[in-house]
């Protein structure tokens, strides 16, 4: 087996590394490297999306006819790796990485023509309306109602943990259009403009102090039936298709490897007594085990990308990717917080680039930071990553999916 990159692959990586170096401004790069969660500074992320779109690189994973690239699996991987190495911020996934695939697969020609180009430019910016106060990982328990009224549906209910709802101008929602049959039946997937009368957004303060998440309330909000994706009452199939991309549509390994390497660098530089922290106890062994798990995840991601490239459904593999990626990310934040030492216990978000406002926080007038910027980021990333094993379906639910789909239990 030849595990070396071909000369063409090496040239591809070098070309895109050079492009990233040219296009990444200091502010955008800073937003990527100093992000406190998977959601970087919103304005910087959108500015980066515009630059990538101008270069034809905002959504290389999309179908070719909608603006994607005819790249090999290796090239997709190399591009993700170069972005991680360059410190580029991630793009908000709800549009480009989630609902766009649904629109491309299930949308009408008119829906594709309207939404897909505007998602690329940021003119249409989506948030996700899946979870409800009593329907999170058990998504089919949702109760937000959509009552037929002529050419419209009238929506009542609420969605929770809605990332970027305060910035979004559209939300894709799962709504209940019928209560007959099994709970997975009678669900409809619909696109809703956020400026409709009867829609209210209430920010939620996270453990890190950020207000990236929200609860969205619908009180007799009227939406055209033409905004339904797929068929009325058949939205569960559409919803599951989207979840394949939410859970396994991103390559975790490239970014995780960069983070692990940064932890190693800091652990070698941080002295505890007369030795670097890297040499204390079993820290080096624990970090090495994490790096081995990242290598395993990388192989599985390449297998998944290869399946998707052949038009095959990633199916239960997306659950495996979600479990491994989020649990590794959580473990790395624990190692980083450990290395940060006493400075990692200080709440000091002012030198970082949070994904949203932190209400009521007052930065020191002189800008003082205890330790270095990475030590200020460590506790915020630790707190934010606690949600990783919950969102997109808790990891316990993902293990149940694997038990049924793979083991037949």
Sign of CA dihedral 294, 95, 14, 307: positive
How far is Cα of residue 283 from the mean position of the Cα atoms in its chain?
29
Q: How far apart are CA 347 and CA 23, in angstroms?
A: 33
Co-location of 278 and 233 in the same domain: no
CA separation for the pair 1, 141 (Å, rounded): 48
Q: Tell whether 184 and 271 lie within a shared domain.
A: no
Identify whether residues 133 and 231 lie together within a single domain.
yes
Using only the alpha carbons of the chain, give its radius of gyration: 22
What pTM was computed for the model?
Answer: 0.89
Dig out the tokens for 232 from the structure: 């009325």
Q: Which of 82, 246, 338, 385 is catalytic?
A: 246
Residues 259 and 385 in one domain: yes
Asked if residue 229 belongs to a domain, the reply is yes
Give the pLDDT score at 276: 95
DSSP structural state of residue 123: S
Beta strands in 255-327 (DSSP E): 271-272, 275-276
Q: List the structure tokens of 341.
A: 């030492």
Tell me, what's the pLDDT at 91? 93
Q: What residues contact residue 79 under an 8 Å CB cut-off, 6+ apart?
A: 12, 16, 57, 60, 71
Find residue 148's DSSP bridge partners.
Answer: 153
In a domain, 110, yes or no: no
What is the model's pLDDT at position 68?
93
CB 125 within 8 A of CB 92: yes
In a domain, 100, yes or no: no
CATH code at position 225:
2.40.110.10
Question: Which pLDDT does position 146 carry in this prediction?
Answer: 97
Q: Pick out the chain residues at pLDDT < 70.
A: 1-3, 247-250, 307-315
Whether residue 323 sits in one domain with residue 271? yes
Q: Which of 43, 70, 91 is the last residue of a domain?
A: 91
Q: Do residue 236 and residue 256 come from a single domain?
A: no
Same domain? 348 vs 264: yes
What is the structure's pLDDT at 1? 40
Angle at 270 between CA 264 and CA 276, to 5 degrees: 80
Quick check: is 396 catalytic? no
Last residue of a domain, one of 241, 276, 294: 241
Are both 281 and 213 inside the same structural domain?
Answer: no
Question: How many structural domains are present in the chain?
Answer: 3
pLDDT of residue 394: 85
Q: Are residues 161 and 198 in the same domain?
A: yes
Pair (11, 81) in one structural domain = yes
Count of CB atoms within 10 A of residue 148's CB?
12
Tell me the C-alpha to C-alpha distance, in Å, between residue 277 and each of 151, 344, 376, 400: 65, 14, 18, 39
260 and 291 together in one domain: yes
By residue range, what is the domain housing residue 75? 7-91
Is 109 inside any structural domain?
A: no
Residue 107 within a domain: no
């Amino acid at each position: 087996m030849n595990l070396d990159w071909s000369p063409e692959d090496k040239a591809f990586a070098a070309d895109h590394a050079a492009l990233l170096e040219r296009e990444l401004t200091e502010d955008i790069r800073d937003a990527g490297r100093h992000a406190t969660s998977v959601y970087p500074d919103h304005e910087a992320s959108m500015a980066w999306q515009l630059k990538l779109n101008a270069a034809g690189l905002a959504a290389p994973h999309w179908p070719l006819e909608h603006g994607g690239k005819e790249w090999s699996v290796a090239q997709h991987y190399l591009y993700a790796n170069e972005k991680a190495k360059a410190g580029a911020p991630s793009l908000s996934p709800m549009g480009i990485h989630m609902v766009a695939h649904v629109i491309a697969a299930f949308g009408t020609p008119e829906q594709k023509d309207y939404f897909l180009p505007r998602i690329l430019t940021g003119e249409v910016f989506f948030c996700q309306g899946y979870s409800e106060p009593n329907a999170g990982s058990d998504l089919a328990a949702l109760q937000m109602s959509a009552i037929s009224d002529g050419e419209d549906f009238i929506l009542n209910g609420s969605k929770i943990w809605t990332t970027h709802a305060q910035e979004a101008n559209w939300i894709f929602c799962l709504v209940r259009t019928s209560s007959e049959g099994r709970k997975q039946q009678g669900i409809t997937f619909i696109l809703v403009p956020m400026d409709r009368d009867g829609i209210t957004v209430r920010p939620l303060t996270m453990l890190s102090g950020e207000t990236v998440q929200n609860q969205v309330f619908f009180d007799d909000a009227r939406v055209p039936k033409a905004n339904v994706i797929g068929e009325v009452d058949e939205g569960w199939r559409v919803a599951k298709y989207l979840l394949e991309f939410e859970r396994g549509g991103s390559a975790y390994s490239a970014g995780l490897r960069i983070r692990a390497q940064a932890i190693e660098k800091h652990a070698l530089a941080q002295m505890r007594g007369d030795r670097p922290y890297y040499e204390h106890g079993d820290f080096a062994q624990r970090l090495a085990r994490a790096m081995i798990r990242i290598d395993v995840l990388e192989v599985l991601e390449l297998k998944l990308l290869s399946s998707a490239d052949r038009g095959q459904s990633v199916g239960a593999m997306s659950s495996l990717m979600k479990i491994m990626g989020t649990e590794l990310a959580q473990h790395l934040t624990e190692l980083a917080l450990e290395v940060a030492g006493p400075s990692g216990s200080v709440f000091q978000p002012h030198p970082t680039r949070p994904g949203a406002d932190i209400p009521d926080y007052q930065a020191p007038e002189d800008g003082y930071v205890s330790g270095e910027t990475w030590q200020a980021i460590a506790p915020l990333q630790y707190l934010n990553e606690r949600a990783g094993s919950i969102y997109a379906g808790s990891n316990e639910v993902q293990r149940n999916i694997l038990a049924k789909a793979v083991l037949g239990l």
